[in-house]
Structure 1
Amino acid sequence: MSSLIALFSFIIIISCSCSSIFAQQPYVREDTTECNEKHNSSSSLGYFCNGVNRSCQTFITFRAVPPYTTLAAISKLLAADPSQISALNSNKTTFGTNKLVIVPVTCSCHGGYYQSNTSYIIKPQDTYLAIANNTFQGITTCQALENQKGNPNRFELETNENITVPLRCACPTKSQVDLGVKYLMSYLVDYDDDDSTISEDFGVDNELLLKANQLTDIDNTIYPFTTLLVPLQSPPTNSSTIVRPPPPPPPPPRTSTPTIFSSNTSSNRNWLYALYGAVGGGSFVLLLGALIYCLVFCRRKKKADPTLVPANSTRLDQEKTVKISLEFLESLSDIAQSIKVYSIEELQRATNDFSINSLIEGSVYRGEIDGNPKAIKKMEGDVSKEINLLQKINHSCLIRLSGVCFNEGHWYLVYEFATNGALSDWIYNEKNNGKCLSWSQRIQIALDVATGLNYLHCFTTPSHVHKDIKCSNILLDSDFRAKIANFCLVRSTNAQQENEFSLTNHIVGTIGYLAPEYLENGLVSTKLDVYAFGVLLLEMLAGTEVSFLYKENRDLSHVYSGVLNNERKESLKQFMDPSMQEKYPSELVGFVVQIIDLCIKKNPEIRPPIEEVVKLLSKALSSSLTWESSIK
């Protein structure tokens, strides 16, 4: 036994010496969400200062998302030279949503870690995790923010406070420089990325990329919104950021040795051949030692299986988004006859060439096709997730997609038209312009929304989380029946039970509607929608935007505490939408407020499943209609 242990120790020494020839930094994996961990075994605090130089010029990537879609906004956020960003990105000054932007930075060693510093002003409800994973998309980490000298304790972030943000970057090691590497670009991994596609996009040898991040052909799982170092011989070009086409058929197995950056002299080639032999021999010894170790201690590591991966470490290929193409559109037409592919000329005629008179709001236009009103939404980026879901579902409480169009880099999604617009136009006191929904209409709308969510949670395979339930995403038809809209943030869940969660590194949504477990720890489940629904129901009764309540620094429970405590008359006046002028059943308000209280519990396991909310609201509606008929 002692000889085996000695052999294994020897193997470890050999493997470390061999890997140090190529390895730059350990890949961060999913440790970006473990904000309490202060170790740096996976580079969560930053990349180590082990390069030839303590400072270097390098590149990071960033994906344009509102409000950071202009050259000025991105350069200010990342403290980068706007002229250099423009030059690297085809002289553009604006970028489409999800467009990859190459950003040049100066990377320097601070406290043992490489970083490029920028600053950020704290906003209401910000946490280090939200700043790192939402605003900066993973180009920094919550651990690095907390570890930064001068930054406040993570529990004491104050609005408008200016903090230092260390962006993740690194400089090449000597062995990498010897192989021709001049830059280590910090690349933000996306859902459809894997190591081979990234290597192909930037013209990099895959073996060199893997070893630069201490990954292997077997252990090569990467996760969205983490950084992967890409070794480059020359500055990256904008051509690398073009959306890649659908993958070709797989090539035959390679029989030759992978090519590393070629040398100009035969002596260098001979040196590389010798190096290959040394590494190959070391790898063989390492594999032999590992096999002996596993047999002795019965701890054989199973190869990653998508069915065995925990919910918080879903492999990338499980979450790949289908890249939209004309072929994909044609397949949609074959799958669902209700999805029509429109020409741009048809949509131009429907909207009077997208005139200002046809504009509803934002990038949504009203049009008329074959005598029927339609809502036409102009979009950029990958819309496959929304199309994939909408072409499969059919429910009266979900907005219906009737067609799509693609023209000159823009997508146009054609929806059924909701005559009475967004719910937000009817319930916010400062916006409703005299419009007023009755008590029964509000309960019916709430029931419709809950019913639509129940369909997404329980009757789609897999189940889906909407992730952006709010009043502006609820549309009302001519009969004031609600339809859930805007599915661009929807996410499928592999949870087998109601209380199961998965993790995300990218916090998105609307402040005020975001559940605490999602905002603080990135936990995703159907209970996110239940929490947001509770906030929406609160707004419907109070006639007040939740953002106003946060400006008042009040906990949501304060708004309805009086009602729950049966302080009837005065509490109802303060709580209810004043536009209703007390035309509501006092005995039912407390019942609905209790539903709100259940939905916005801090502990997600205590919140009811949405199907229970549907049952409760059905009772409330029945009683409301009885009350309404009694007062006529």
Structure 2
Amino acid sequence: MQIKKMKMEYFYSLFLFIIFTCNNLHITNSQPNTTGYTCSTNQTTYPCQTYVYYRPFSPNYLNLASIGDLFSVSRLMISRPSNINISSVDAPLQPNQSLFVPIQCSCNRVNTSVVISYAPLNHTIQGGDTFYQLSIGQFGNLTTFQSVEAVNPTLIATDLDVGVNAVFPIFCKCPNETLRQNGVSFLISYVFQPSDNISRIASLFNSTTQAIFDVNGNNIQDFDTVFVPVSQLPLLSQPAPGATSPPPAPSGSGNSTQGDDRKGAVIGLSVGLAICGLLLLILIIWLLCVYKQYGKRKGEGKYGGEGKHQKFEKGKKGEEVNLLADVSDCLDKYKVYRVDDLIEATDDFDERYVIEGSVYRASIDDELYAIKKMNWNASEELKILQKVNHGNLVKLDGFCIDHEEATCYLVYEYVENGSLHSWLHGNQREKLSWKNRLTIAIDVANGLQYIHEHTRPKVVHKDIKSSNILLDSNMRAKIANFGLAKSGCNAITMHIVGTQGYIAPEYLADGVVSTKIDIFAFGVVLLELISGREAVDKEGKVLWEDADKILEGKEDKKMKRVKDWMDSSLLRESLSMESVASVMAVAVACLHRDPSRRPSMVDIVYTLCKSDDFSFDVSDEGLSPRHLVAR
């Protein structure tokens, strides 16, 4: 025991020594500026749009989609300023290829004494992420881990939870009034490299060395962020399609003394890295020896021979191990069912028990449940569901993993009256009243407001539609099916998923994932509630296409068009046409083609709840409480 303890202490000391040595080498040579760049909150030029110069790197950041995800912008927002042809936005990039990425720069108070200039970028922490690694890796030294720690005071840099949202302050500056009067439009954020000199940077950006020194001072060190003043973005030279290496950047003259200094810095850094590599090699060899001895004793088991753990991980049992590892955080919150119980409750998943698709009705201990059968890992859906708890969301009761089939089952509460889609478009003899429809709309809006505003990070459902809205015994609505949901927003994806007729235009065009795509889909659901029509008709025409024209023109014509649009079953009721027109106005606002002009769910809930007391005005500014007009 004493020897083992000494070994662990030796390992720990050696590990700390290596980390300390490597960190000191990096910090000494590459990160002299750690606190960020100060600014004045009274400066009238803030906020501003500007750009960072970004260098793609392998293996994960050699395409515009992944870089767009990182900076929360679309591919086209990078390709246009970077002089990349629109036909090449999906083409792979070359390492160190020149890119301009747009950011929104603002002056932000970190604490009572520190105010720095940066663009706040939200990043969801993944397994193995650290502030240090993300700052110098993914973000290419456009920030520092010290600044990230300062901006995220509630997070512990050495103990980050997977899935937590962190803000990364990307260093930037807005040109002051004097610079703007001198024709400076942007201060481009550029990370100074060991091989750089100011003349080269000035040549690359069509600026001047004196202009760069005026903005940044003369004490520029390796990996500092240099702010390059330009009147307009320079035209970047891009590699031809199929090229194997990026084009050479323009070279500046520079002075020989500065070049020698850079050369010396490179040599010094190389020596330091070589020392780190040697120390790490020694550590790895030592660890392998220890692991080999430990594994040998572990594998023999109590009675010798092959260990039980090794047997368990063979074949499909190993898939169960992986699935259980992914959902280990959920084990305490949800009931874990046995496969045999679910098979018995559904008569081996007989078609008689199918509710819809792969969802089955089941009776377990005299309680009804809905069982969702999935042929893939449900860990993401479970992780999202364990964060939410709201009366307008379908409640997850438990789950089950079938190691024989590598299948996961999610066991939900049973919602008695089925989907809104079946009530609106099915063969039910009983039609929903206007009061029912309005209550359903408010219930769904409340559920969406909860996941958009009260979860951290925010949750985007991504598949809001009438068939994913279920009605309980009291005809109250619950949002179901979080299989496509995403934790975190303002990201870009290449994998477009969803249902035709509900997909927002910006998501379909550029893969932009934000809460606004749920709001768009909710607008389509409102149109279904008003009209009784499907989101896509038999000819393939989407319901929302001409909806905005209904509320155009004079009041009498507007009301007539609303009446013509309405579900005929509603015309037999005694209802307020103003109330219907109000909900129609909410729907049209949700369907605005510009996502920034769509209302938030907070505004939508407020307006729907007041729909009997107020009428609404829809303008190009969208819908918000300030647009409410009392009748």
Q: TM-score, normalized by length of structure 2?
A: 0.49
**Greater relative contact order, per chain length (Cα 8 Å cut-off, separation 6+):** 1
